[in-house]
Chain A
């Protein structure tokens, strides 16, 4: 008998006692969203919650993004910046840092030598202060937002912002690799007190980009 059959057989015997007893439906009366907000209010909440977990939040629009990203990279002293495929080229038009194109096959040591990475995202969730990446255009492979110590993530407001987790899931494709990021890398392992900055990027900057996608 294979272990698969053995385990499944044990489960079937263990659950036989349920018989035909009626099964209660899963109650889904929990809230789809906590509170009523305008789109601007949702963006404000996202900014507040990101900041509370020590992400640095910036706001700009299509006219200001190139200058803002250039300034953030310069303030960081970044000499090199990773660029995922599909990142709108004008975002980094004013940046002085050397662009490093992400390419399959680059080994982790190469990525470890890069100072910063700039990406977009799939969506952001205001109630939890979360950005979600799905490896889509402008986001790249999961490792590029992990190994460099400085991640700048651009969120288009209001298009990419939802209020809550229940609103986020239907917009995501589980077949794609998904990374949910809520603030910079952190740990509570020493005396159960939160400390920011372990293995992931220790600095997370989120740019809220106003206006529709161009």
Chain B
């Protein structure tokens, strides 16, 4: 992926960051460092809302998958129980995360793999870059992975002179289009078939085998072009980089769900496989997969089962000697803000996420704002609760994400691990508006409120003072009633945001309170 890097700030050496002493307490700090100038959500969303092609692409795609998902879920009479089990398995794992990671490390090592630990993006990138350079090869094929996007691995590899080829169809579209991903499952959801045809025709030749002459925009033809373009890369690849959907602590088994077969290519053909996986992806037992193998495909692509799932344990029983898969396997366990998220009692539930993207597909805000407006590789409702926790709330975009929701609850309803996203959003709004205790890089700190909330805070307090005095409230209502003939079409100040697209409500002649006092005063 070229173009703007939207990965994680908060790397060592950033101004304003605490020293990495991991002391349990520290004094009050300014809010965490800013993302490089990404606009706040409302500003980025404004552009998307005004783009009719983007709106149509997103509407078509999200509505298609929404209805399919509902049908796939309705097939299972025990969906609610699977959801409760998935939530409980994840909660249990998070509570004992240290124990399960150590167990996983032992199992992977015993099966011939090597485990590395990365506290942040920078460290993970250094580890992976070093491993690739040590193979002597300068090219890697990549399976779609949120974790490697999060840390900006492709940019780090390119900086070290290593070419990284995305092999997932949508990631290929994004990479060839010098674009940014806008969806967790379908990173090129913002592109329609005609746009994809243009990208393939113009760009494939620069990175390898060109698109066939006279390429049309039928999805079958486009998929065929991708097959031909990537096959030469798969067949010669010596090093692959992947993520994983699950890691099993008791057995050391890694699990990757996919559809196209690019995952299988990367996981089985190269000599060296490097998997970068967030520490929250571990589950305790092989049996636990019976829950997620049922809930993840139905929630993400709305299928009973995705076409391909690969499970591997280290180098296998032969330790790589049977030529069935890589002869070297490295697992990089990634923190990068996850332990800070784990430290928050309300916010930690976001770590249950299995990246199905059902919440994006059902979100009316995502449908209109598009994924880029979220300024992160994690867009949509889950992104709005993950990014400000992983990155802190210091930047304009991160401070605005908790407000990028009407709290309609559709995301919570479809979440297969029952993350109460609206609850976390409100919790994070409190953090933004009021400041308070948070954990950054393992250190407990108090952050100050984000900028721009002083007037709101004063207004909320004034409103509460008024509302807490029914006598004053009644006087205020009477004042309002007397002003009813003055109803302007446009309001100044913050009210403009309302009247730009809506009429104001017509004011009544008297409040309910007054009506009651007049009509039923004797009984009040």
Interface residues, chain A, with chain B CB atoms under 8 Å away: 1-4, 6-15, 17-18, 23-31, 34, 49, 53, 104-105, 108-109, 112, 125, 127-130, 135, 141-143, 146-147, 165-166, 169-170, 174-195, 197-201
Indicate the member of A9, A18, A187 with the most B CB atoms within 10 Å. A187
Q: Please tell me which one of the listed residues A3, A23, A169 contacts residue B289 in the complex, with CB atoms under 8 A apart.
A: A169
Task: Give Cα A25 to B85, complex, Å.
Answer: 9
List chain B residues, Cβ under 8 A from A142: 264, 268, 310, 324-325
List chain B residues, Cβ under 8 A from A29: 78, 81, 85
Is B169 in contact with A189, judged by CB distance below 8 angstroms? yes
Given known contacts A7-B117, A187-B169, A198-B169, A27 and B308 CB-to-CB distance under 8 angstroms: no
In the assembled complex, how far is the CB of residue A45 from the closest CB belonging to chain B, in whole angstroms? 11
- B interface bracket (residues with beta carbon within 8 Å of A): 35 or more
In the assembled complex, how far is the CB of residue B239 from the closest CB belonging to chain A, in whole angstroms? 14
In the assembled complex, how far is the CB of residue B361 from the closest CB belonging to chain A, in whole angstroms? 8
List chain B residues, Cβ under 8 A from A191: 57, 60-61, 64, 189, 192-193, 219
- The interface-forming segment of B91-99, B149-157, B385-393 is B91-99
Fill in one digit per residue for B242-263: 1 if any A CB lies within 8 Å of its CB, else 0.
0000001001010000011110
Is B101 in contact with A189, judged by CB distance below 8 angstroms? no
15 A-B Cβ contacts within 8 A?
A3-B118, A27-B88, A31-B81, A129-B304, A141-B324, A146-B264, A166-B290, A175-B111, A177-B312, A179-B309, A181-B307, A187-B223, A190-B219, A191-B192, A192-B61
Is B227 in contact with A199, judged by CB distance below 8 angstroms? yes
List chain A residues, Cβ under 8 A from B89: 26
The 10 A-B pairs with the shortest beta carbon distances in the complex, nearest first, are A200-B261, A199-B261, A104-B323, A10-B339, A14-B343, A198-B260, A189-B170, A180-B309, A128-B305, A182-B305
List the B residue with the shortest CB-CB distance to A204: B307
Task: Give Cα A92 to B219, complex, Å.
Answer: 36
Is B88 in contact with A26, judged by CB distance below 8 angstroms? yes
Task: Give Cα A202 to B259, complex, Å.
Answer: 12
Is A105 in contact with B85, judged by CB distance below 8 angstroms? no
Task: Give Cα A176 to B339, complex, Å.
Answer: 32
Is B81 in contact with A4, judged by CB distance below 8 angstroms? no
Fill in one digit per residue for B41-63: 1 if any A CB lies within 8 Å of its CB, else 0.
00000000000000001001110
Task: Give Cα A175 to B315, complex, Å.
Answer: 9
A3-B119, A198-B169 given; 16 more Cβ-contact pairs under 8 Å: A6-B20, A7-B101, A7-B119, A8-B98, A10-B22, A15-B94, A34-B76, A146-B261, A165-B290, A177-B325, A179-B311, A181-B308, A182-B303, A190-B169, A192-B64, A200-B308
Task: Give Cα A165 to B348, complex, Å.
Answer: 29
List the A residue with the shortest CB-CB distance to B116: A3
Is A53 in contact with B303, judged by CB distance below 8 angstroms? yes
In the assembled complex, how far is the CB of residue A129 from the closest CB belonging to chain B, in whole angstroms? 6
Is B94 in contact with A185, judged by CB distance below 8 angstroms? no
Task: Give Cα A146 to B235, complex, Å.
Answer: 12
List chain A residues, Cβ under 8 A from B62: 192
Task: Give Cα A62 to B427, complex, Å.
Answer: 64
Is A169 in contact with B290, judged by CB distance below 8 angstroms? yes
Task: Give Cα A44 to B291, complex, Å.
Answer: 24
In the assembled complex, how far is the CB of residue B240 from the closest CB belonging to chain A, in whole angstroms? 13
Is B324 in contact with A177, judged by CB distance below 8 angstroms? yes
List chain A residues, Cβ under 8 A from B64: 191-193
Task: Give Cα A11 to B333, complex, Å.
Answer: 13
In the assembled complex, how far is the CB of residue A141 from the closest CB belonging to chain B, in whole angstroms? 4
List chain B residues, Cβ under 8 A from A197: 220, 223-224, 227
List chain B residues, Cβ under 8 A from A175: 111, 251, 313, 316-317
Is B308 in contact with A14, judged by CB distance below 8 angstroms? no
Task: Give Cα A200 to B263, complex, Å.
Answer: 10
Is A18 in contact with B260, judged by CB distance below 8 angstroms? no
Is A174 in contact with B268, judged by CB distance below 8 angstroms? no
In the assembled complex, how far is the CB of residue A128 from the closest CB belonging to chain B, in whole angstroms? 4
Is B85 in contact with A28, judged by CB distance below 8 angstroms? yes
Is B223 in contact with A195, judged by CB distance below 8 angstroms? yes
In the assembled complex, how far is the CB of residue A106 from the closest CB belonging to chain B, in whole angstroms? 8
Q: Is B222 an interface residue (CB 8 A)?
A: yes
Q: Please tell me which one of the listed residues A18, A135, A147, A186 contacts residue B307 in the complex, with CB atoms under 8 A apart.
A: A186
Is B322 in contact with A104, judged by CB distance below 8 angstroms? yes
List the A residue with the shortest CB-CB distance to B96: A15
Is B117 in contact with A192, judged by CB distance below 8 angstroms? no
For chain B residues 314-329, which have a beta carbon within 8 Å of chain A?
Answer: 316-317, 322-325
In the assembled complex, how far is the CB of residue A166 from the closest CB belonging to chain B, in whole angstroms? 4
Indicate the member of B84, B224, B235, B324 with the most A CB atoms within 10 Å. B324
List the B residue with the shortest CB-CB distance to A105: B323
Q: Is B77 an interface residue (CB 8 A)?
A: yes
In the assembled complex, how far is the CB of residue A103 from the closest CB belonging to chain B, in whole angstroms? 9
For chain B residues 17-57, which have a beta carbon within 8 Å of chain A?
Answer: 20, 22, 24, 57
Task: Give Cα A129 to B297, complex, Å.
Answer: 13
Q: Is B384 an interface residue (CB 8 A)?
A: no
Fill in one digit per residue for B63-105: 1 if any A CB lies within 8 Å of its CB, else 0.
0110000000001111001101100110010111110011000
List chain B residues, Cβ under 8 A from A34: 75-78
List the A residue with the shortest CB-CB distance to B167: A199
Indicate the member of B65, B78, B98 with the most A CB atoms within 10 Å. B98
Is B339 in contact with A11, judged by CB distance below 8 angstroms? yes
Given known contacts A27-B84, A169-B290, A198-B223, A188 and B343 CB-to-CB distance under 8 angstroms: no
In the assembled complex, how far is the CB of residue B326 from the closest CB belonging to chain A, in whole angstroms? 11
List chain A residues, Cβ under 8 A from B97: 11, 15
Task: Give Cα A49 to B305, complex, Å.
Answer: 10
List chain B residues, Cβ under 8 A from A3: 117-119, 123
List chain B residues, Cβ under 8 A from A143: 268-269, 324
Given known contacts A142-B268, A166-B290, A7 and B333 CB-to-CB distance under 8 angstroms: yes
In the assembled complex, how far is the CB of residue B177 from the closest CB belonging to chain A, in whole angstroms? 13
Given known contacts A28-B85, A179-B264, A199 and B57 CB-to-CB distance under 8 angstroms: no
For chain B residues 353-368, which have a beta carbon within 8 Å of chain A?
Answer: 361
List the A residue with the shortest CB-CB distance to B334: A7
In the assembled complex, how far is the CB of residue A151 from the closest CB belonging to chain B, in whole angstroms? 11
In the assembled complex, how far is the CB of residue A189 from the closest CB belonging to chain B, in whole angstroms? 4
List chain A residues, Cβ under 8 A from B211: none
List chain B residues, Cβ under 8 A from A7: 101, 117, 119, 279, 333, 335, 339
Given known contacts A141-B322, A165-B290, A174 and B101 CB-to-CB distance under 8 angstroms: no
Is A14 in contact with B88, judged by CB distance below 8 angstroms? no
Q: Is B173 an interface residue (CB 8 A)?
A: yes
Q: Is B113 an interface residue (CB 8 A)?
A: no
Task: Give Cα A183 to B84, complex, Å.
Answer: 29
In the assembled complex, how far is the CB of residue A134 from the closest CB belonging to chain B, in whole angstroms? 9
Task: Give Cα A200 to B260, complex, Å.
Answer: 6
